[in-house]
Amino acid sequence: MSRLAVPKTYKLFIGGAFPRSESGRTYEVTRADGAFLANAAKASRKDARDAVVAARGGVAGWAGATAYNRGQVLYRIAELLEGRRAQFVAEIEDAEGVTRAEAGAQVDEAIDRWVWYAGWADKFAQVAGGANPVAGPYFNISVPEPTGVVAVIAPQDSSLVGLVSAIAPALVAGNSVVVVASERFPLSAISLAEVLATSDVPKGVVNVLTGSPAEIAPWLASHADVNAIDLVGAGDLDWIDLEIAAAETLKRVLRPEQGADAAAPALDRISAFTETKTVWHTKSLR
């Protein structure tokens, strides 16, 4: 007698747990040829608010960790991604309709980008900050600090590479993240969440929502407890309205990017989610 396969249920990732949408809604995820692939949770406004609450709760511990420790935690995620490489390759192959070799290249690129950002964790402060020349017997030092909760609209044409490219730089700086995954290709986002849940990332530091960016993004852009928003994957939305909504609460905004180089690794993507603190201290006159 043949056994029944156990279909995977793709849920949200909020506060270190995997809840269903509070609305109970799901939507069908299909293969490239239109065949049914899986059901994914369709996040609501309430889910977005819950994710922001969880992200706020995760900021202090993550931002308070040493830069070296954050780098080690992020590198551990890359190790876990490497260990589950076959799963991610299969998911991308099914969802995007690419060859196994092409899917493998995407996974390898995502892992490499994660390692690249992990390596900057204890180094970017020296580049983004420094001692400033001033007149008088003072030390004047500028230091980058995390801005807080960062909302991210992930690139919509990428299963994994775009997602990693969008969330990793915010994490390096010590921020917590609420990310809206690709609506067409959400499965790798939840699989990444499973990696995060089994790594040393504190709960609430990364929260993953699946569903419609058009529905969720306005609530994140206008939410008073979100400090910055990355609209890298919002090019097909009315992102000007999102930028206006973000301005009401003085959010940092990164505008949409298009093309193959969207969200390419860059130090500027880390510093975009930092605030610069400048400290004066008297020099000894002896």
Per-residue confidence of the chain (286 residues) as pLDDT tens digits?
Answer: 688 877 778 999 999 999 999 999 999 999 989 999 999 999 999 999 999 999 999 999 999 999 999 999 999 999 999 999 999 999 999 999 999 999 999 999 999 999 999 999 999 998 988 888 888 888 888 999 999 999 999 999 999 999 999 999 999 999 999 999 999 999 999 999 999 999 999 999 999 999 999 999 999 999 999 999 999 999 999 999 999 999 999 999 999 998 767 889 999 999 999 999 999 888 876 6
**Cα radius of gyration (the chain):** 20
Question: 205-224: b or e for each residue (b if 16 or more CB lie within 10 Å)?
Answer: bbbbbbbbbeebbbbbbbbe
For residues 2 and 11, what is the distance between their CA atoms, to the nearest angstrom? 28
For the question of whether the overall pTM of this predicted structure is more than 0.85, the answer is yes
